[in-house]
Amino acid sequence: MERVSIRIWLPDQPGMLGAVALRIAAMRGNVVGLEVLERHGGMAIDDLVVELLDRNMVDELCTQVRQIDGAGVEDFHFVAPDAEDRGLEVVAAAISILETANPTAALAALMGHTLELFRAEWAGLADLGNEAYVESAGPVPPIDQLLASVRSDSVAVNNKVDHEPSWTPQEPENGSGGRGLLVEKLQEIGLNLALGRTAPFRTRERREVEMLARVTDRACRPALHADRIPPGW
């Protein structure tokens, strides 16, 4: 058996998930996990973990979902048979950050975990005031492009910046929309965690990144208040 995580859009109506499950069952597949990521504008966006007899069946799986009126497929990837539940992975990441020895390690853990958990293509810790990256991994955009994206069409809510980046991928065929750039402020440290990928970040993912950033702030607080934060951070 092969496991695949498939991200789907469905009209937010009774019976739609059942219609998907019936098509998966007809392929002799089995739904073993479900995570609701977002409900907006009459649409629901869900991650389904599906067991298939063969990984070559994933194209047929996507075709079956797309044949449902109003449904679409945003992304999919294969997962290990023994992979942890998604919620447990986020909790484990938070514990790992809290158990670090110093702010440098906590920030490194935050970057590493968010890159992996959210399948980001790049990550950066940005000092937007000084217009510079403190740390980065992957092909981060030039800092001036990041700043321009943050400032353009930005909406600040509780010091969180949400925006539509200039390199947003093409909208999905059902018009569900989304953003492939996420910027989260670390209040105590005064830096911003920026993550980028082709697929949009959804509401639940944004909340999870926000919580991990708050945990990181908490882990760094004692050292910050003791004026022991390492130079350069």
Domains of the chain, CATH where assigned: 2-79 (3.30.70.260), 86-225 (3.30.450.40)
The 10s digit of each residue's pLDDT in 78-87 is 998 888 888 8
Report the pLDDT averaged over residues 51-56.
Answer: 93
> Rounded CA gap, 21 and 19, in Å?
5
Choose among 161, 140, 143, 141: nearest CA to 152: 161
Tokens of 218: 């908490």
More confident residue, 228 or 46: 46
Tokens of 194: 């920026």
The 10s digit of each residue's pLDDT in 144-181 is 999 988 887 454 333 444 433 332 333 444 444 557 99
Task: Write down the pLDDT at residue 40.
Answer: 86
Half-sphere exposure of 105 (CA within 13 A, CB side): 11
Report the pLDDT averaged over residues 82-98.
Answer: 91
3-state secondary structure of 199: strand
The terminus-to-terminus CA distance of the chain in angstroms comes to 46
The 10s digit of each residue's pLDDT in 106-157 is 999 999 999 999 999 999 999 998 999 999 999 999 999 999 888 874 543 3
Task: Write down the pLDDT at residue 166.
Answer: 31
Choose among 145, 195, 199: nearest CA to 177: 199
| Position 180, amino acid | G
Task: Write down the pLDDT at residue 30.
Answer: 94
The 10s digit of each residue's pLDDT in 4-37 is 999 999 999 999 999 999 999 999 999 999 999 9
- Whole-model pTM: value is 0.81
Categorize the per-residue pLDDT at 222 as very low, low, confident or very high, splitting at 50, 70 and 90: low
Q: Widest CA span of the chain, in angstroms?
A: 62
Query: CB–CB of 120/197 below 8 Å?
Result: yes
The 10s digit of each residue's pLDDT in 166-220 is 323 334 444 445 579 999 999 888 899 999 999 999 999 999 999 999 999 988 8
Tokens of 141: 């955009």
